[in-house]
Structure 1
Amino acid sequence: MPVIKILPHSEYCPGGAQVSAPAGTSICEALLDNGIEIEHACEMSCACTTCHVIVREGYASLNEPDEAEEDLLDRAWGLQPQSRLSCQAILAQQDVTVEIPRYSINHAKENH
């Protein structure tokens, strides 16, 4: 079972974390199932960017992003070449390390 290492994030996991999840699980589902309450305003339907993560290790082991995900990522705060929407990034057998960006674009949370 692959391990997801989450780098420290002041709001979601200040000390960082490590969680296990079966292959075939999205990174977002794995985090939520293990008590890391990453934002997912569209309920994991690939309609927003609130679950954006930067994959620091293990990027190549994830499924390829599709066009819809790539289009949405263009709007994500802090976009980097290894950025993925965690609701669309599906684990294979390799461990991954992710960073949750400091900010997200969540108009509901920001009262817009």
Structure 2
Amino acid sequence: MPVIKILPHPEFCPQGASLSAPAGTSICEALLDNDIAIEHACDMSCACTTCHVIVREGFNSLNEMEEGEEDLLDRAWGLEPNSRLSCQAILAQQDLVVEIPKYSINHARENH
């Protein structure tokens, strides 16, 4: 089972975390299953950017990005070349290092 190392995030995991998840699981599911409450406003349907993560190591082991995810990522806060929507990024057998950005754009939560 691949290991996901989560870098420290002030809200979701202040000390950072290390967790295992089976290949075929999305990064978002793995985080939620391990009590890291990453935002996922669209219930993992690839309709928002609240679950945006930056994959610091292991990016190329993930499934290929589909066009819908690419289009949405253009709207994500703090976009980097190795950004993914965690609900769409499916684990393979390789370990990952993941950073949850400091901010996300969640219009429902922000009362827009």
Task: State the TM bucket, normalised to the shorter chain.
Answer: over 0.9
Aligned pair 1:32/2:16, yes or no? no
Residue 53 of structure 1 is matched in structure 2 by 53
User: Given the two structures, how large is their TM-score scaled by the length of structure 1?
Assistant: 0.99
1:62 Cα shift? 0.2
Q: Residue by residue, what CA displacement relative to the aligned partner does 1:7-66 show, whole Å, maximum 9, x if unpaired?
A: 000000000001100000000000000000000000000000000000000000000100
Aligned positions of 1:1-112 closer than 5 A:
1-112=1-112
Q: Which runs of 4 or more aligned residues in structure 1 lie more than 2 Å from their structure 2 counterparts after TM superposition?
A: none
Aligned-residue CA RMSD (Å): 0.3
User: Given the two structures, how large is their TM-score scaled by the length of structure 2?
Assistant: 0.99
Q: Which runs of 5+ in 2 are unaligned?
A: none
Q: Quick one: which amino acid aligns to residue 6 of structure 2?
A: I
